[in-house]
Amino acid sequence: MKLNLDIIDRKILSYLQEDARITLTEMAKRLYMSRNAVRYRIELMEKQGLIKGYTAVINPMQSENSIFIIILLDVKPSNVVECIKMLNGYEEVFETLRLSSGTALLVKAFFKNAHHQNKFILEKIQDMPIENYTLHTVSQIVERNGFPIQYLE
């Protein structure tokens, strides 16, 4: 489905990415539109699947003992779907990205402590049908931006 976003839709998306709790009244004021017109546009973008939901952005680095890691998995083409299903079932995993090679997965995971992380690697990652994995501990989230709206077409 081709999206037909105009400048107003892009501004609405920008406002929602900046603050998902912004009121329709506030957006309508900023856009010089009625609340109903803003609501209609948002509902349309939700129905199109462009807006998937509204969520709080939690900073995992605020917890004193927790660990945020990124794992790069090398997977045989025949095992990619199985690995994705397995990863989706793990509560520690909050995002899995399939990379352009088609056989690499980038996994973002969060752990209570080092013991929890080690147990996950030993009992879950090493039991997966993968070729290899590389583990990186995130030491700092430098900046988190929303999706670049200017690239939506």
**Domain range list for the chain:** 7-47, 60-137
What pLDDT was estimated at residue 142? Answer: 76
60-137, CATH topology level? Alpha-Beta Plaits (3.30.70)
Contact 105, 98 (CB under 8 A): yes
pLDDT at residue 103, rounded to an integer: 83
**Which CATH number is 7-47's, of 1.10.1200.10, 3.30.930.10, 2.60.40.790, 1.10.10.10?**
1.10.10.10
**Amino acid in position 21:** R
Look up the pTM and report it.
Answer: 0.69
> Is the pLDDT assigned to residue 144 strictly greater than 80?
no
Q: Report d(CA 88, CA 138) in Å as an integer.
A: 21
Within 13 Å, how many C-alpha atoms sit on residue 117's CB side? Answer: 18
35-86 per-position pLDDT tens digit: 999 999 999 999 999 998 888 777 766 777 788 999 999 998 899 999 999 9
Q: CA–CA separation, 141 vs 69, rounded Å?
A: 11
